[in-house]
Structure 1
Amino acid sequence: MPPAKPSKDTAEIATSPTDYSYAELTADSATDAVTLADECALAISYNGINHAVMMVSPSFVEDFIAGFSLSNALIDSIDEIYDIQLDRKGDALNAQVTLSNRAFWALKEQRRQLAGTSGCGLCGIEALDQALPALKPLPTSPLPPAEHLFELRQRISEQQQLARSSGALHAALLVDTQGAISLCREDIGRHNALDKLIGALHNNAADKQHGFAVITSRCSLELIQKAIRAGIHTLVSLSAPTALSVQWAQRHNLNLIHLPHHSPPRVFSPAPTRVPSR
């Protein structure tokens, strides 16, 4: 059977960029719109067996699957991928990958050894309902005062002690009701940094409703889900959120604010009620 050829791809699978409205966290609350990156949950099955689910940008998905399969030693050669069928439904993208018999046998053996020797299971989540779970919406909560975000980037840099000495570290922080940074946790992994902060919030009985959390990393869906589960009412990101992150934040009453380098804070959730100014 010949190797898989690029299909209609991903141009048809991916959604077109969409403009999302935001309101500036300023006295006049000016509104505008910006295009946000798209993401979706990708479920990969090999020869009919679920392997993993991960969040991806829904473009050049076949290239990703090929690279993922090679870099994770699931195949030895790209020729062992016979076919890739993609099907998108809402926020989920299913990939049915057909492997050669040799590659599929090796994959099954790898799965058996991983489960038997480490007990950790496979990397990733094997069910879409775990990647896109039903979450309980948060109670609505007021936005933080704009002055609490004043020079926040500089103040965060001063708090990141590990990053100052070594670099390459994400941070998750808590800004308290007085506008002061009261907790800072750092990690090479952006998910890890937020998990550390969530643990510290509970260990220190911090006020998650009236203070707000800040992440220095990009704001993707997994971090939105973590914040909602942890009962954090406001999340501020130094990087722009993805489109799916905004949708989930609005759906679950999580206040979501992007803090650009040289512009006023942008409130994406709750959804702006005024028509964009441009």
Structure 2
Amino acid sequence: MHAKRTVGAASVPDASALGASQSYQYSNLEGSAAAETALAEEVALAIAYNGISQAVMLVSPSDLEDFIVGFSLGSGIIASPDEIYDFRLSGCGSSMQAEVEIASRAFWALKEHRRQLTGTTGCGLCGVEAVEQALPELQVLPATALPPAHWLDGLRQRISDFQPLGRHSGAVHAALFMNDQGELLLSREDIGRHNALDKLIGALVRQGIPLAGGVAVVTSRCSLELIQKALRAGLQTLVSLSAPTGLALQWARRHNLNLIHLPQHSAPRVYSPAMENRS
């Protein structure tokens, strides 16, 4: 278990216990005496489902259990957390493995997807299948109210307390969750922005935290993949500290996901729902 420190009503991993950074020596171009600084670590995590290799992800070596659950759900490999029966992490150093046991139905769908993407590149069909996987049919969320404006007041400053690894070493993204009372509950950090959101989703699922009325916050730019992960997890509002892409905005509106950009020096920008749809 990671050591914790308390910030308000929430618990935050202590950067010294994360195991996701190490100190390295450096010098400047003038050849001055060596100094040390903390740098974020990354490991190659090979993920297999029911014995079949699926992906190798470069991740920060912290909260990997949360990542496995969130990646499986956010990538559409499982439809619900109940379809994960068990998983085991092994390995050390820069190479780790995750053996995940999933329900037969989910495994059959995964094998069918892999079969569709296998074929000759000249047939013209493989690209079609790949596009269908990149732009899948996802369930439209029930419309939900936008968060009160004061929830976002000073948010950039407040989330700093939930980024211990980022403050310690830099080079990482964060994803955070705010409950239906506007309280920041937990965060997850990773070198990959997708990974950070996967870890957050996994943590919410594993801890049984209700999502209704809550807000997910990502410190990275908001592209389509993050929208899809939020939709699959059932997150109803996504706040991004960097601007969304046009396609991300279109998908958010189409699927009733509240999408808000929080610029550094101006007021929050509500992209979804569209202004004409707001009463």
TM class, shorter-length: 0.5 to 0.7
The residue number in structure 1 matching 2:184 is: 181
Counterpart in the other structure of 1:155:
158
Tell me if 1:217 matches 2:220.
yes
Q: For each residue in 1:72-111, what CA deviation from the matched residue of structure 2 results, as whole angstroms up to 9, or x when unmatched?
A: xxxxxxxxxxxxxxxxxxxxxxxxxxxxxxxxxxxxxxxx
**Could you tell me whether the CA contact under 8 Å between 1:174 and 1:182 is conserved in 2?**
yes
Quote the Cα distance in structure 1 between the aligned partners of 2:130 and 2:187. 33
Note the C-alpha offset of 1:152. 0.4
Show the counterpart of 1:139.
Answer: 142
Deviation of 1:126 (Å) = 6.6
Match of 2:240 in 1: 237
Give matches, 1:2-13, under 5 Å. Answer: none
Q: After superposition, what is the alpha-carbon deviation per residue over 1:127-166, rounded to whole angstroms, capped at 9, x for unaligned?
A: 1110010111011111111111110000111210011110
Q: 1:246 aligns with which of 245, 249, 268?
A: 249
What is the alpha-carbon distance in structure 2 between the residues aligned to residue 255 and residue 175 of structure 1?
14
Write the letter of the residue equivalent to 2:220: S
Per the TM alignment, residue 178 of structure 1 is displaced from its structure 2 partner at its CA by 2.0
What are the ranges of 5 or more consecutive residues in structure 2 without an aligned counterpart?
Answer: 1-117, 119-127
Match of 1:269, as an amino acid? S
**Structure 1 residue aligned with 2:261, among 258, 261, 269?**
258
Q: 1:226 aligns with which of 223, 226, 229?
A: 229
- Separation of aligned partners in 1, 2:190 and 2:174: 7
For the residue of structure 2 that corresponds to 1:127, the secondary structure is helix
1:199 to 190, 198, 202: 202
* Residue aligned with 2:275, SS: coil
SS of alignment partner, residue 187 of structure 2: strand
Answer with 1 or 2: which has the greater Rg. Answer: 1
**How many aligned positions are there?**
152
Q: 2:244 aligns to what SS in structure 1?
A: coil
Indicate the SS of the match to 2:158: helix
What does 1:1-278 align with in structure 2 at a 5 Å threshold? 127-273=130-276
- How many percent identity over aligned positions? 66
Deviation at 1:210, TM superposition (A): 0.7
| 1:138 match: secondary structure | coil
User: Counterparts of 2:179 and 2:153 in 1: how far apart (Å)?
Assistant: 14
Distance across 1 between alignment mates of 2:142 and 2:217: 19
1:209, 1:234 within 8 Å by CA — same for their partners in 2? no
C-alpha distance in 2 between matches for 1:207 and 1:148: 18
**Backbone CA RMSD of aligned residues:** 1.9
Q: Residues of 2 paired with 1:176 and 1:168: CA distance?
A: 27
TM-score, L = length of structure 2: 0.53
| Counterpart Cα distance in 2 of 1:205 and 1:249 | 25
Q: Which has the higher contact order (CA 8 A, sep 6+)?
A: 1
User: What is the CA deviation profile of residues 44-82 of structure 1, one whole-angstrom value per residue up to 9, with x for unaligned ones?
Assistant: xxxxxxxxxxxxxxxxxxxxxxxxxxxxxxxxxxxxxxx
Shift of 1:179: 1.5
What code does the residue aligned with 1:212 have? V
List alignment gaps of at least 5 residues for structure 1.
Answer: 1-114, 116-124
- Distance in 2 (CA, whole Å) between partners of 1:177 and 1:169 is 27
Distance, in Å, in 1 between the alignment partners of 2:204 and 2:240 is 18
Q: Name segments (4+ residues, structure 1) moved above 3 Å.
A: none
